[in-house]
Chains A and B, each alone.
Chain A
Amino acid sequence: MAEEPIQLDALGASGAYRSRRRQTVEDVAGSPVAELTLVPGLFVGRTMKALHRARTLPAPERIAALARAGSLFAEGVFDGLGPAGYRRTVSRVSGVPVSVVAEAAAAISEAAGTAGETAYAAKPAAAVSDWRSPETTKGSAVWTRRGDVFAVHAAGNHPGPHSLWLEALALGYRVAVRPSRREPFTPHRLVLALREAGFGPDHVALLPTDHGTADAILRDADLGLAYGGDDVVAKYAGSGVLPQGPGRSKILVTADTDWRAHLDTIVASVAHQGGVACINATSVLVEGDPAPLAEALAERLATLPTLPPEDEGAVLSAQPVDSARALEKHLLSRAAGTTAWLGGDGVVEELPGGGAVLRPAVHQVAEAGAEQHRVELPFPCVWVGPWSPSDGVGPLRDSLVLTVMTEQDALVDELVAEPSISNVYRGDHPTYWIRPGVPHDGYLGEFLMRTKTVIRD
């Protein structure tokens, strides 16, 4: 590609900042697409200090600015990219199918428009959001921020999670985002849109850093959000940083329900959005013989086409060949001892234009407690296994989403009560179902806000 790479500057408190030290962002074929500024720690410290000094916009102004930003994000031209160019670029660098990027971009735009309501969905019923409310004359809970500056270590697997931190802006936090170095385009576009819509450069900032400087952003914030695996969860447990860990979403079908009537939903839960999301099903557990279900899943998933991610018909995600091969090797080693129904000889199919698609994999495991149920990989990779009532809730723990297809209220009672299951969908609902206003992993507001009593004359 002879085109000049796009310059993705940091967005600091005094505007755009271009460092000498930059990282090349490549597409899945290895062609350079952008040069991303990497800011030094000194720059992080100065930007975070400016965010602390800034004054939050009054609620009506920031809600209106968020809505404007939503439209600008959807329709504007930023970094030389209009909406179509943005979608294509994100699909080329992240490997996420372009139709999925389009859906995610629309969701981000919608989330910006509704953040003023969704962010406040977490407010306790007895609390008011402003001390001036009449309720406080008799004494009332007021919902207030636990801090002023919020930092996000963003993920690059899928643009969708960027809609979450918009709620922090809606609640009056100043926000610093460290983008993923794999896909920095979405937060760059979003921060530019927010600034054009009225947020000051000291209200929302974009701070790309190398690995060694990343922690400085969280250190200098009051509260933070970090995406990652079990290591990230362990590192930040109990701290002022809310970890967003593995999804390990699952589907359970009990004997009183015929999975054949729900095969579409099960297939879609595994493969929707190229399987890159934490809300894709990692495991399907079935009371009875799992083999027919595994066979049916494999048959359906095998028909998905291999296309480059920017193709409108693409449904599978792509990666650079090396990382796709590494994931394949990892899958094959973790799958040892299981029965392969699809992908047992490998899942990588190289694309003529460079890069490789990760094709689906279906493996049958022998027990409900099989260790493979913890192996979540960023493509349609599903472990199908048996479950019986004697296994209980244990094998269903640690799930972001659990879709349960059953007639048994008592089982649903147990699953809803289980603390390590974040969302329970009963019946014919795919694991990826999500709407603005329902919590994804609890409301962010539960973490960002607290109540305090105010009484006044």
Chain B
Amino acid sequence: MALADPVLDSPKEAAADPDAFVRAAMHWHFSPGTGSPFWLARRSELGFDPLTDIRGHADLARFPNLASELREAPVGELIPRGYGERPDVVGVYESGGTTGAPKRIALLQDWLDQLLAWSSGQLDAHGVPQDVNWLVVAPSGPHMVGDVIKRQTAYRGGLAFTVDLDPRWVKQLISGGRAAEADAYAEHIVDQAAYALRSQEIGVLMCTPPVLERISRRDELAELVNRKVRAINWVGTQMDADTRHLYRTEVFPDAVLYSGYGSTLILGNASERPGLTDDDPCVYDPFSPYMSFGVVDPESGEPVEYGERGQVVMHHVSRSLLLPANLERDTGLRVEPLPGQVGDSVADIAPVATFEDQNVIEGVY
């Protein structure tokens, strides 16, 4: 790989000087010999010179949000030329695709290796056992999560059993008012999970809160989870504090229950901060300085105060990809970062706020 630079490849060195890391990344992504065709083509339109004007992490906010261009951009043009003719590509993945055409990125092996080493450490901190099998009820391609968790399971010495699901179809069913079909699909997912739970040794269960609730509603499956599963990793949607408390105290009292939050466009995910109580919101600390969060007022774009809710901004900076200033659809609470971490931590992730209709409804009820 051209332009070997320790600060780009060593998480320790990057964390020690995150601003030097950002400058090295700018050099890599905007040098004609190493940068991606996507960024090289846009360098002149930025209105600043990334090589001289981006001096550190704080300057990433100067980048325009180009995420929507990933709907159309040839994904090969996102791969830095510095990886050579045969980059080690794990896969091409897409964002959720709930609002229009999906956005695409490529996941490269060297970044995945760094991510897995870091996220595995997070699992250890939660007390998630190594050398156990996982039941991963999560989408496979074009979504990234299924593939990454499969590789994470192998990294930690287990086998991954998978149940595929298509979140885009579920969203279509729900938005189309086809509740009965959505319900049947969800039961179909749980039916498949049941076969694996019955016949295999499963140490960790990964699924969404709605699937977990359906599993808990079937006495046989709840009993199997209590007998076999030592950690439950919920992802994908929200789970309120009352529900978490019920799982921990009544439903699955012996399993470690923890959540994850990630995004395809940040090329990764974070597990919730270990040691939180049921009364705390779920806080997520990203893999700094590669992944970083900001929480901003959607109107002004300015950061909100700590503890306040705002829209989540994500930056990804690694050798494999530069994608700064991506405004997510999620909102979250801005939380003070861990020592040495760049940007913010976020908590209590929720979809963009919706309000109950205040219109007058006729009638006496």
User: Which A residues lie at the B interface, using CB under 8 A?
Assistant: 19-21, 39-43, 45-46, 49, 155-158, 211, 227-229, 244-247, 276-278, 280, 326-327, 329-330, 375-378
Ordered nearest first, which 6 A-B pairs have the shortest CB separation?
A155-B365, A229-B363, A330-B360, A40-B243, A378-B364, A19-B242
Centre residue among B241, B246, B247 by max chain A CB count within 10 A = B246
Once the chains bind, are B251 and A42 in contact (CB under 8 Å)?
yes
B45: interface (CB < 8 Å): no
Once the chains bind, are A40 and B363 in contact (CB under 8 Å)?
no
Residues of B within 8 A of A329 (CB): 360
Apart from the given pairs A21-B241, A39-B242, 9 other A-B contacts in the complex at a CB distance below 8 Å: A21-B240, A45-B216, A155-B364, A229-B361, A244-B365, A246-B362, A246-B364, A278-B364, A329-B360
A42 to B240, CA, bound (A): 10
Q: Which residue of B lies closest to A331 (CB)?
A: B360
Once the chains bind, are A40 and B364 in contact (CB under 8 Å)?
no
B299: interface (CB < 8 Å): no
A52 to B337, CA, bound (A): 47
Q: Which residue of B lies closest to A333 (CB)?
A: B360
Once the chains bind, are B240 and A156 in contact (CB under 8 Å)?
no
Interchain CB contact (< 8 A) of A228 among B240, B242, B246, B365: B365
Residues of B within 8 A of A247 (CB): 364
A378 to B361, CA, bound (A): 10
Once the chains bind, are B241 and A375 in contact (CB under 8 Å)?
no
A45 to B222, CA, bound (A): 13
Q: Which residue of A lies closest to B358 (CB)?
A: A326
B85: interface (CB < 8 Å): no
Which residues 303-320 of B sit at the A interface, judged by CB distance below 8 A? none
Residues of B within 8 A of A229 (CB): 361-363, 365
Residues of A within 8 A of B243 (CB): 40-43
B72: interface (CB < 8 Å): no
Interchain CB contact (< 8 A) of B364 among A20, A45, A276, A326: A276
Interchain CB contact (< 8 A) of A42 among B247, B360, B361, B365: B247
Q: Which residue of B lies closest to A244 (CB)?
A: B365
Once the chains bind, are A45 and B362 in contact (CB under 8 Å)?
no
Once the chains bind, are B363 and A228 in contact (CB under 8 Å)?
yes
Once the chains bind, are A227 and B365 in contact (CB under 8 Å)?
yes
A210 to B264, CA, bound (A): 32
A245 to B240, CA, bound (A): 33
A46 to B222, CA, bound (A): 12
Using A42-B243, A46-B250 as known contacts, say yes or no to A376 and B364 having CB atoms under 8 A apart: yes
Which residues 217-274 of B sit at the A interface, judged by CB distance below 8 A? 217, 240-243, 245-247, 250-251
Q: In whole Å, how far is A165's beta carbon from the nearest beta carbon of chain B?
A: 15
Q: Enumerate 21 A-B pairs (CB-CB under 8 Å) in ascending A order.
A: A20-B240, A20-B245, A39-B242, A40-B246, A41-B243, A42-B251, A43-B243, A45-B216, A155-B364, A155-B365, A246-B364, A277-B364, A278-B364, A326-B358, A326-B360, A329-B360, A330-B362, A377-B362, A377-B364, A378-B363, A378-B364
Q: Mark B342-365, 1 if CB is under 8 A from A, else 0.
A: 000000000000001010111111
Q: Which residue of B lies closest to A329 (CB)?
A: B360
Q: In whole Å, how far is A371's beta carbon from the nearest beta carbon of chain B?
A: 12
Using A20-B279, A49-B217, A211-B356 as known contacts, say yes or no to A43 and B363 having CB atoms under 8 A apart: no
Residues of A within 8 A of B363 (CB): 228-229, 245-246, 376-378
Using A228-B365, A229-B365 as known contacts, say yes or no to A40 and B360 having CB atoms under 8 A apart: no
Residues of A within 8 A of B247 (CB): 42
A19 to B244, CA, bound (A): 11
A158 to B364, CA, bound (A): 9
Q: In whole Å, how far is A320's beta carbon from the nearest beta carbon of chain B?
A: 12
Residues of A within 8 A of B59 (CB): none
B213: interface (CB < 8 Å): yes
Once the chains bind, are B216 and A327 in contact (CB under 8 Å)?
no
Centre residue among B213, B242, B246, B364 by max chain A CB count within 10 A = B364
Once the chains bind, are A375 and B362 in contact (CB under 8 Å)?
yes
A61 to B7, CA, bound (A): 78
Residues of B within 8 A of A42 (CB): 213, 216, 243, 246-247, 251
A229 to B362, CA, bound (A): 7
A21 to B217, CA, bound (A): 22
Q: In whole Å, how far is B287's beta carbon from the nearest beta carbon of chain A?
A: 30
A273 to B233, CA, bound (A): 54
Q: In whole Å, how far is A20's beta carbon from the nearest beta carbon of chain B?
A: 5
A330 to B362, CA, bound (A): 9
A43 to B239, CA, bound (A): 13
Residues of A within 8 A of B217 (CB): 45, 49
Q: Which residue of A lies closest to B278 (CB)?
A: A20
Residues of B within 8 A of A211 (CB): 356
Q: In whole Å, how far is B219's beta carbon from the nearest beta carbon of chain A?
A: 8
A337 to B216, CA, bound (A): 57
A150 to B210, CA, bound (A): 24
Q: In whole Å, how far is A89's beta carbon from the nearest beta carbon of chain B?
A: 20
Q: In whole Å, how far is B136's beta carbon from the nearest beta carbon of chain A?
A: 22
Centre residue among A41, A49, A278, A280 by max chain B CB count within 10 A = A41
Residues of A within 8 A of B246 (CB): 40, 42-43, 46
Q: Which residue of A lies closest to B360 (CB)?
A: A330
A45 to B219, CA, bound (A): 12
A45 to B360, CA, bound (A): 31
Once the chains bind, are A45 and B356 in contact (CB under 8 Å)?
no
Using A40-B240, A42-B216 as known contacts, say yes or no to A157 and B364 having CB atoms under 8 A apart: yes
Residues of B within 8 A of A40 (CB): 240, 242-243, 246
Residues of A within 8 A of B216 (CB): 42, 45
A69 to B189, CA, bound (A): 45
Residues of A within 8 A of B360 (CB): 326-327, 329-330
Residues of B within 8 A of A155 (CB): 364-365
A158 to B363, CA, bound (A): 13
A276 to B363, CA, bound (A): 9
Once the chains bind, are A157 and B213 in contact (CB under 8 Å)?
no
Residues of B within 8 A of A20 (CB): 240-242, 245, 279
Q: Which residue of B lies closest to A219 (CB)?
A: B183
Q: Mark B118-162, 1 if CB is under 8 A from A, else 0.
A: 000000000000000000000000000000000000000000000
A42 to B361, CA, bound (A): 30
Centre residue among A42, A46, A246, A277 by max chain B CB count within 10 A = A42
Residues of B within 8 A of A156 (CB): 365
Q: Which residue of B lies closest to A376 (CB)?
A: B363
Residues of A within 8 A of B213 (CB): 41-42, 45
A211 to B358, CA, bound (A): 13
A104 to B200, CA, bound (A): 59
Centre residue among B213, B243, B363 by max chain A CB count within 10 A = B363
A21 to B364, CA, bound (A): 28
A246 to B356, CA, bound (A): 22
Interchain CB contact (< 8 A) of B362 among A46, A244, A276, A376: A376
